[in-house]
């Protein structure tokens, strides 16, 4: 790869993101979780009980893919899908006690992976870096 490309912020951010995703994916795998399964569990924890369709829109996951992830999570006893009291045609998704416990373990593992990612930085550098990343990543509208 030419050195001019390797100095572009977009290249460096992409490399850092790929390393971060790999570290988090490995940490989650140690808990028996895949990345999208963790995303769905975390979203259900934040939004639940949540209509299945709203959940998919909220995390921008295709409905067919969401059904597969929810089937896996429900099969493992981590979420429950019940008729939505507001609209019986919809499913409401909630975490089970096992789902909450696993999510806590995964959050701990993900924090450790992110600490590893930012390990080369001092505490002050991490704070400044995260502030800058949030500003760069902010999407208007």
The pLDDT tens digits for 82-108 are 987 777 788 899 999 999 999 999 999
pTM, rounded to two decimals: 0.83
The number of domains in the chain is 1
How is 50-117 classified by DSSP, letter by letter?
A: EEHHHHHHHHT--HHHHHHHHHHHHHTTSEEEEEETTEEEEEEEEE-HHHHHHHHHHHHHHHHHHHHH
Does residue 1 lie in a domain region? no
Question: What CATH number does residue 124 fall under?
Answer: 1.10.10.10
Does residue 55 lie in a domain region? yes
- Asked whether residue 141 carries a pLDDT value surpassing 60, the answer given is no
- Asked whether residue 139 carries a pLDDT value surpassing 60, the answer given is yes
Does residue 23 lie in a domain region? yes
Q: Which domain, by its residues, includes 18?
A: 10-137
Does residue 4 lie in a domain region? no
Q: How confident is the model at residue 44 (pLDDT cuts 50, 70, 90)?
A: very high
């Amino acid at each position: 790869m030419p050195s001019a490309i390797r100095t572009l912020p977009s290249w460096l951010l992409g490399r850092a993101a790929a390393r971060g995703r790999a570290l988090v994916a490995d940490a989650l795998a140690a808990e028996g979780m895949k990345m999208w399964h963790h995303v769905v569990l975390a979203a259900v924890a934040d939004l639940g009980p949540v209509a299945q369709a709203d959940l998919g829109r909220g995390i921008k996951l295709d409905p067919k893919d969401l059904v597969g992830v929810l089937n896996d999570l429900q099969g493992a006893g981590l979420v429950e899908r019940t008729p939505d009291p507001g609209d019986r045609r919809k499913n409401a998704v909630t975490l089970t006690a096992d789902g909450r416990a696993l999510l806590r373990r995964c959050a701990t593992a993900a924090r450790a992976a992110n600490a590893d990612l930012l390990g080369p930085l001092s505490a002050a550098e991490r704070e400044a870096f995260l502030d800058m990343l949030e500003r760069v990543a902010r999407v208007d509208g």
